[in-house]
């Protein structure tokens, strides 16, 4: 592979999805993938790290006994 060449993944109707140098991000277990242009990789990685930190914080709150009903403010909304 060389910069600018197209990578084709196996799919029902093959089509180009990314250029070498772009980030191909997947979710495990793989439910899909997205090609992130090289120019957007830093911003995308930052957003992913922020989301992972937020989700870790939520899991910690749930382990501590909080309910999602309260964490997401639904109780306060229902009681107002």
Chain segment 29-44, per-residue pLDDT in tens: 556 667 788 888 888 8
Residues 18 and 49 in one domain: no
How far, in Å, CA of 47 to CA of 20, rounded? 22
Residues 28 and 43 in one domain: no
How far, in Å, CA of 40 to CA of 30, rounded? 22
Residues 12 and 49 in one domain: no
Three-class SS state of 45: helix
Residues 74 and 45 in one domain: yes
Q: Domain limits at 61?
A: 39-80
Backbone angles phi, psi at 42, to 5 degrees: -60, -45
3-state helix, strand, coil in the chain (%, to 5): 45, 20, 35
Whether the predicted pLDDT of 3 surpasses 70: no
- pTM of structure: 0.58
Q: How many domains does the chain have?
A: 2
């Amino acid at each position: 592979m060389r910069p600018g060449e197209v990578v084709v993944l196996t799919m029902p109707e093959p089509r180009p999805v990314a250029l070498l140098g772009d980030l191909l991000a997947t979710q495990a277990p793989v439910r899909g993938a997205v090609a992130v242009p090289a120019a957007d990789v830093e911003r995308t990685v930052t957003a992913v790290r922020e989301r992972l930190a937020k989700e870790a914080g939520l899991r910690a709150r749930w382990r501590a006994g909080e309910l999602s009903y309260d964490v997401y403010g639904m109780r306060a909304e229902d009681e107002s």
